Structure 1
């Protein structure tokens, strides 16, 4: 055997060694914790069964407050309904092992928004046993979510904001809400000042960015938490 070939042969002590399942598990958990990426494992009911420190920081909750709770309780209401639908579709579709879904997420406590990559793990029958998720943040908005009292809308201004976001004209809004054109313009001007924007297009865009509307809903609907009692 040539000297260069001998160098490629593992040492005898390595050839006879075995790696236990517990050792493998420790390695996996170590990589899970030290990856620097927000990682979690959910069961089919979307309860958090495992989570690393990065993910709990992104949630804005200590790990013990995240474990065994529904993942949906940590995301903002504006994304919760759409996220639930996407997870239900993923679980019911009996995905292949290589499937991956990218879902839009915004955490309630921190306002961190980003994409959640979901990797379902199936059993021999194709049924989803668990879902590994990886979160990649896109931006942080300190002012989100907007539920402060001075930012909440009256029931009427909420309807007007919904109409503006849907592209309704002043005349159409006046007919729908049984108001005069002047009344609609008056309330729109108040909304423009309240949101500090120059026009209706910017008003609708800012309301969406602040999480006032439910994501994935058309026509636009203001979240109940953003409307005064």
Structure 2
């Protein structure tokens, strides 16, 4: 069971400590040594202020490399907007914590799923002054997600995929994109080959599972990182 008062004390240690001492205050706190617990403290802008050694190992970077970066830089682009909405609910006082499975991207550019629990830290005042994020051990195995360094779609492929995901049929999609019907069908066939699927329904499902389409967005939108 998580000791919430201890979390608050830890977050206060982190945020009130000297900025240059990234490797000491959080790591020396007893709670930070709890087995299997990955911990990071964020400021109100979601910038990483401090973390324990498990966090740096999980993301393959040192405190100098990761402290100061936005926490959302470490998650897959397809899940950033839903995660930002969850953090906003903490900062706006609509909830005290949330839990979610997040697709993160490690230092070796591999994607993995990790259970995340985030707490709003108020320290006895109504205003949130920090957010403490706890992560369980990353789930091993290939999650099938394309990382953000792989440009797999042309601009026209991306627009066609968005249209198919929104339920737009071939003729109106061709009119919207100033293509012939045959032109749309050609690009759809190319998308089938790229994503290794047999039909349009499987194409949309595969695109979401790979993180090519943003989660929680309507109309459907391709993550721009994957467009050439």
What TM bracket, shorter-length normalisation? 0.7 to 0.9
- 1:107 maps to 104
User: Conserved in 2, the CA contact under 8 Å of 1:104 and 1:114?
Assistant: yes
**Secondary structure of 1:205's match?**
helix
Task: Return the alpha-carbon distance in structure 2 between the equivalents of residues 209 and 182 of structure 1.
Answer: 28
Q: Which residue in 2 is equivalent to 1:40? A: 40
Q: Which runs of 5+ in 2 are unaligned?
A: 1-12, 14-24
User: Quick check: 27-36 or 179-188, which moved more?
Assistant: 27-36
1:91 Cα offset (Å):
0.6
Q: Who is 2:212 aligned against?
A: 212
* Paired residue secondary structure (2:29): helix
CA distance in structure 1 between the aligned counterparts of 2:179 and 2:79, rounded to whole angstroms: 32
TM-score, reference length from structure 2: 0.76
Question: Is 1:111–1:140's contact at 8 Å kept on the other side of the alignment?
Answer: no
Structure-2 residue corresponding to 1:144: 146
Question: How far apart are the structure 1 equivalents of 2:85 and 2:57?
Answer: 25
- On the 8 A contact 2:160/2:173 being kept in 1, the answer is yes
Shift of 1:33: 2.5
Structure with greater contact order relative to length (CA < 8 Å, sep ≥ 6): 2
Distance in 2 separating the partners of 1:119 and 1:140:
28
Residue in 2 that maps onto 1:74? 74
How many residues are paired up?
200
SS in 2 for 1:107: strand
Q: Is the 8 A contact 1:78 1:213 kept in 2?
A: yes
1:55-204 matches, within 5 Å, as 55-93=55-93, 95=95, 99-109=96-106, 110-136=110-136, 137-138=138-139, 140-141=141-142, 144-145=146-147, 147-149=149-151, 152-204=152-204
Q: SS of 2:221's equivalent?
A: coil
Gaps of 5+ in 1: 1-21
CA RMSD of aligned residues (A): 2.7
Kept in 1, the 8 Å contact 2:27–2:51? The answer is: no
Moved over 4 A (4+): 25-28
Q: In the aligned structure 1, how far is the partner of 2:168 from the partner of 2:140?
A: 31
